[in-house]
Amino acid sequence: MSKENIAPATGKLGVMVVGLGAVATTMIAGVEAIRRGLAKPIGSLTQMGTIRLGKRTDNNTPLVKDFVPLANLNDLVFTGWDIFEDNVYESAAHAEVLDKETLAKLKPYLETIKPMPAVFDQHYVKRLHGTHVKTGKNKLDLAQQVMADIQKFRKTVDRVVMIWCGSTEIFLEPSAVHESIEAFEKGLENNDPGIAPSQIYAYAALKGGVPFANGAPNLTVDTKALLELSRQTAAPVCGKDFKTGQTLMKTVLAPAFKARLLGVSGWFSTNILGNRDGEVLDEPQSFKTKEESKLGSLEYIFQPELYPDLYKDIYHKIRINYYPPRGDQKEAWDNIDIFGWLGYPMQIKMNFLCRDSILAAPIALDLVLFLDLAKRTPELRNLGVQEWLSFYLKSPQTTEGLYPEHDLFIQSMKLKNTLRHIMGQELITHLGLEYYD
């Protein structure tokens, strides 16, 4: 495979964002600030990352964006849906992530982005009461209305990607309706309760060949039916739930313990946050969806079945508490009980005072740009799940029968080797024997 086979990133890339809340508005405002030279794209691998090519002695380390054909930030056009009518300026002001001064400079642009009415049902997000919503005779009708929104937007741009930055829905498990595309389409007609709004958007996107990313832990495309549709229409998807704060740190620390064969007996993680996401997660059924997503990483990294003496009895507990005074500035505490040589116990305490949406925005941007690249790459676009994008997600998805990789460094290597591979460059294994010939 070589660069010639990848379609160029010419023209406008339309970005359809579901949920214009804290993360989405921070991404959109951030892109505009960067386009105007007011800020740097810190945290974005597509914008600031580099990639080594060839030997260490070759001194060839271009920027990722100069190596693979990615859409230029100047070519991004944003639109979206929300259950509230606020335009992106109003919603960003409400989220209080970016300061008033920055938002004032961007106001004329941000005000032009007004949400389309959303597909919403309070059954799936109990804490929100939205009024800016579509009505239809059944879920299929609602999906068709989203498809019509996509069609209309498509006329104004050259390519389209959809990303869910909406709220966390209640915990749902795959059921009969998710077994095949046919069952799913029947379920849309029959208003099957197993189909949440996020699945309706995803279906509408995939049906039209539009790549879809999921920033929340919702079930959404993690089902047989939608994965089949993704492959059928060559509309790439990735895993779920932006890997931003606490889980990012977990997937950095846990691989270090495992590499050094240090045991872990307990990992207690707690969070306080006061944004709307925190309010939604204060509701037990939405929290359950988030909890499942956050719990998975340690289990997979530690492989207790291979290391029973070290990791069989870990007590892993996660708490999220809604605490309004803190707004988007989350605080996370971790207490990790580890043990070393001859079983002697030790403790690690971690206190991460982070900004949720500042960490999530560059991830959302990178996912949009890389999914668009995947769609233009013949070798990737028919795969369905893009496992190489696991790097960005708390719940990576894989093809059936594979366990997901959670270790951030494996994920980073997988991502960069995928880029080398599609560009016809040699993979980097870090073997290094060639330097000693």
Ligand X SMILES: NC(=O)c1ccc[n+]([C@@H]2O[C@H](COP(=O)([O-])OP(=O)(O)OC[C@H]3O[C@@H](n4cnc5c(N)ncnc54)[C@H](O)[C@@H]3O)[C@@H](O)[C@H]2O)c1
In 253-302 the beta strands, taken as DSSP E runs, fall at 263-273
CB of 227 to ligand X, least distance (A): 21
CB of 96 to ligand X, least distance (A): 10
Which backbone phi and psi does 127 adopt, to 5 degrees? -80, -10
* Identified binder of ligand X from the candidate list 70, 142, 216, 249, rule CB under 6 A: 216
Q: What residue type is 72 in one-letter code?
A: N
Determine contact, residues 289/168, Cβ cutoff 8 Å: yes
Distances (CA, A) of 320 to 7, 345, 392: 43, 27, 21
* Identified binder of ligand X from the candidate list 110, 140, 142, 165, rule CB under 6 A: 165
The residue with its CB nearest to ligand X is 21
**Sign, Cα dihedral of 377, 381, 387, 391:** positive
SS3 8: coil
Distances (CA, A) of 96 to 21, 89, 323, 358: 10, 11, 15, 11
In 284-344 the beta strands, taken as DSSP E runs, fall at 315-322, 331-339
Q: Which two tokens stand for residue 173?
A: 């498990």
Q: What is the DSSP string of 144-195?
A: HHHHHHHHHHHTTSSEEEEEE-SPPPPP----GGGSSHHHHHHHHHTT-TT-
Angle among Cα 414, 420, 424 to the nearest 5 degrees reads 140
Residues 303-342: x where in contact with ligand X by CB under 6 A, - otherwise, as a string: ----------------------------------------
Our CB check for ligand X shows the closer of 14 and 21 to be 21
Determine contact, residues 368/24, Cβ cutoff 8 Å: no
Q: What residue type is 179 in one-letter code?
A: E
Q: What residue type is 409 in one-letter code?
A: F
CB of 233 to ligand X, least distance (A): 22
Residues 232-251 that bind ligand X (CB under 6 A): 241-242, 244
* Identified binder of ligand X from the candidate list 13, 15, 16, 18, rule CB under 6 A: 18
Our CB check for ligand X shows the closer of 130 and 255 to be 130
The interface region with ligand X, picked from 116-124, 173-181, 336-344, 371-379 by CB under 6 A, is: 116-124
Tell me the C-alpha distance between 42 and 359, whole Å. Answer: 9
The interface region with ligand X, picked from 39-47, 164-172, 402-410, 421-429 by CB under 6 A, is: 164-172
Q: Which 8-state DSSP code applies to residue 171?
A: P
The interface region with ligand X, picked from 16-24, 34-42, 57-65, 408-416 by CB under 6 A, is: 16-24
Our CB check for ligand X shows the closer of 24 and 338 to be 24
Q: Calculate the CA dihedral of residues 171, 177, 181, 187 and round it to 10 degrees.
A: -100
* Identified binder of ligand X from the candidate list 33, 68, 79, 82, rule CB under 6 A: 82
Half-sphere exposure of 121 (CA within 13 A, CB side): 19
Say whether residue 291 binds ligand X (CB under 6 A): no
* Identified binder of ligand X from the candidate list 21, 187, 274, 296, rule CB under 6 A: 21
The interface region with ligand X, picked from 51-59, 161-169, 342-350, 397-405 by CB under 6 A, is: 161-169
Our CB check for ligand X shows the closer of 72 and 102 to be 102
The interface region with ligand X, picked from 76-84, 248-256, 311-319, 425-433 by CB under 6 A, is: 76-84
**Considering only CA atoms, which of 22, 201, 17 is closest in space to residue 115?**
17
Determine contact, residues 19/116, Cβ cutoff 8 Å: no
* Identified binder of ligand X from the candidate list 125, 162, 163, 226, rule CB under 6 A: 125
Determine contact, residues 73/13, Cβ cutoff 8 Å: no
Query: What residues contact residue 72 under an 8 Å CB cut-off, 6+ apart?
Result: 9
Our CB check for ligand X shows the closer of 18 and 73 to be 18
CB of 128 to ligand X, least distance (A): 6
Residues 340-359: x where in contact with ligand X by CB under 6 A, - otherwise, as a string: ----------------xx-x
Our CB check for ligand X shows the closer of 165 and 188 to be 165
Residues 193-212: x where in contact with ligand X by CB under 6 A, - otherwise, as a string: ----x---------------
Residues that bind ligand X (CB under 6 A): 18-24, 81-84, 95, 118-120, 125, 128, 130, 165-168, 197, 215-216, 241-242, 244, 275-277, 356-357, 359-360
